[in-house]
C-alpha cells in the first residue's frame, strides 16, 4: 500500500500528468454544471448534435490558423456547434419535422462534413503534425500548459455569464410562460443557454473528443438530479461530480498506460449515474 501511494505521488509530480489532471478538472466542473440546463430543458440530444457538428469547425480552425493552434480550433468548433444548433432549430420549425429528427439531421450532416474535411486535411504535408484526428476521441496527453489558459478562459467566461443572468436562466428553464410574463426575454435566454452548452462542449474537445463529449455533459447532471431538487443544488453538485469523475479518469489513465483519458472519464461519470440511481433520494427522483 505504501509503495502504491508512493508511486501515485511520484506520478502526480509529473508535469504532464499535472497538466492533464488540471485540464480534466476544468472540463469536468464546467461541463457538469452547464449540462444541468440541457438536462432540465430536455435537450440532451442537442449536446450530442453540437459535439459531433463541432468536428468541421475543428478542421476549419486548423486551415485558418495554418496549424494546430488550440485557440483557432476551439473558436472554429464553437461556431460550428452553434451553426448546427441554429440549423436544427430552423428544421424543427418546419411543419412536418419533429425536433428529434431535426437534431438527428444536424448531427449527421455536421459529423459527415467534419469527416470529409478531416480527410482532406490529413492529405496535406503538415497534417501529421496537426493531430486533428485526436479530436474524435480526445488525447489528453497532448494538452499543453498553454492550452490550460484557453480552457480556463472559456470556463471563466461561461461561469461569469451564468452568474450574471442566473435568475433569468432559472425562470426560462422551469417556466417559460411565467418568465415571459415577468419580462424575461425567453428566446434570448434560451439562445444564451445553448451558447453556454456549446462552451462546455468546446472545452472538452481536446480531452474527451467530439464522440464522447455529450456523455460528459449529460451524465453528471443526471447523477446530480437524483440527489438535489433545486437547480442551484444541481448545478453545484453536477459540477462537483464532473470534476471528481474527470480527475479520477485522468489518474486512472496515467496509472494504466495505453488507456485513453476520455473514455475512462466517461465511464467514471456513468458509474456515478448508476450509483445515484440506486442510492439517490427517492423523493427527488420522483419530482418533476
CATH number at residue 194: 1.10.3470.10
Q: Is residue 169 part of a domain?
A: yes
> In the predicted model, what is the mean pLDDT of residues 120-144?
69
Q: Is residue 2 part of a domain?
A: no
Q: What is the CA radius of gyration of the chain?
A: 19
| CB burial of residue 104 (10 Å; 0-12, 13-18, 19+) | middle
C-alpha cell at 92: 424543427
Give the range of the structural domain holding residue 65, as residue numbers without chain letter: 12-285
Q: Is the pLDDT of residue 288 over 70?
A: no
Q: Is residue 85 part of a domain?
A: yes
Q: Is residue 164 part of a domain?
A: yes
Q: How many domains does the chain have?
A: 1
Give the pLDDT band (50/70/90) at residue 222.
very high
DSSP code, position 144? -
CB 273 within 8 A of CB 44: no
Q: Is residue 18 part of a domain?
A: yes
207/196 Cα distance (integer angstroms): 18
- State whether the Cα torsion 19-24-26-27 is positive or negative: positive
pTM of the model: 0.81
Region of 124 please: left (phi>0), alpha (psi -120 to 50) or beta.
Answer: beta
Q: Which residue has the cell 437534431?
A: 103
Q: Is residue 37 part of a domain?
A: yes
Nearest to 104 by CA among 84, 79, 118: 84
Task: Output phi, psi for 208, to 5 deg.
Answer: -110, -35
Task: Output phi, psi for 131, to 5 deg.
Answer: 65, 30
Give the pLDDT band (50/70/90) at residue 12.
low
In this prediction, residue 131 carries a pLDDT of 67
276/164 Cα distance (integer angstroms): 30
| CB burial of residue 271 (10 Å; 0-12, 13-18, 19+) | middle
CB 131 within 8 A of CB 68: yes
Q: Is residue 4 part of a domain?
A: no
In this predicted model, what pLDDT tens digit does every residue of 140-188 receive, in sequence order? 766 777 778 877 887 888 888 888 888 888 888 877 777 788 788 888 8
Amino acid at each position: 500500500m505504501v509503495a502504491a501511494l508512493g508511486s501515485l505521488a511520484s506520478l502526480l509530480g509529473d508535469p504532464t500528468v499535472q497538466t492533464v489532471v488540471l485540464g480534466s478538472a476544468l472540463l469536468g466542473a464546467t461541463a457538469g454544471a452547464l449540462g444541468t440546463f440541457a438536462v432540465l430543458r430536455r435537450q440532451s440530444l442537442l449536446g450530442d448534435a453540437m459535439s459531433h457538428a463541432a468536428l468541421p469547425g475543428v478542421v476549419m480552425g486548423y486551415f485558418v490558423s495554418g496549424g494546430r493552434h488550440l485557440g483557432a480550433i476551439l473558436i472554429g468548433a464553437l461556431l460550428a456547434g452553434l451553426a448546427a444548433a441554429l440549423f436544427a432549430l430552423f428544421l424543427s420549425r418546419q411543419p412536418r419535422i419533429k425536433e428529434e429528427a431535426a437534431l438527428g439531421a444536424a448531427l449527421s450532416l455536421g459529423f459527415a462534413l467534419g469527416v470529409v474535411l478531416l480527410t482532406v486535411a490529413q492529405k496535406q504535408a503538415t497534417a501529421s503534425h496537426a493531430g486533428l484526428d485526436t479530436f474524435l476521441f480526445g488525447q489528453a496527453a497532448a494538452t499543453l500548459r498553454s492550452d490550460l489558459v484557453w480552457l480556463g478562459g472559456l470556463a471563466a467566461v461561461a461561469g461569469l455569464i451564468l452568474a450574471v443572468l442566473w435568475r433569468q436562466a432559472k425562470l426560462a428553464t422551469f417556466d417559460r410562460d411565467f418568465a415571459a410574463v415577468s419580462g424575461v426575454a425567453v428566446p434570448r435566454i434560451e439562445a444564451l443557454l445553448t451558447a453556454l452548452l456549446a462552451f462546455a462542449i468546446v472545452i472538452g474537445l481536446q480531452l474527451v473528443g467530439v464522440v464522447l463529449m455529450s456523455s460528459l455533459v449529460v451524465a453528471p447532471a443526471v447523477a446530480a438530479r437524483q440527489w438535489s431538487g433545486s437547480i442551484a443544488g444541481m448545478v453545484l453538485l453536477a459540477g462537483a461530480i464532473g470534476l471528481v469523475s474527470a480527475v479520477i479518469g485522468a489518474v486512472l489513465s496515467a496509472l494504466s498506460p495505453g488507456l485513453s483519458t476520455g473514455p475512462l472519464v466517461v465511464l467514471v461519470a456513468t458509474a456515478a449515474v448508476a450509483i445515484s440511481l440506486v442510492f439517490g433520494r427517492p423523493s427527488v427522483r420522483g419530482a418533476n
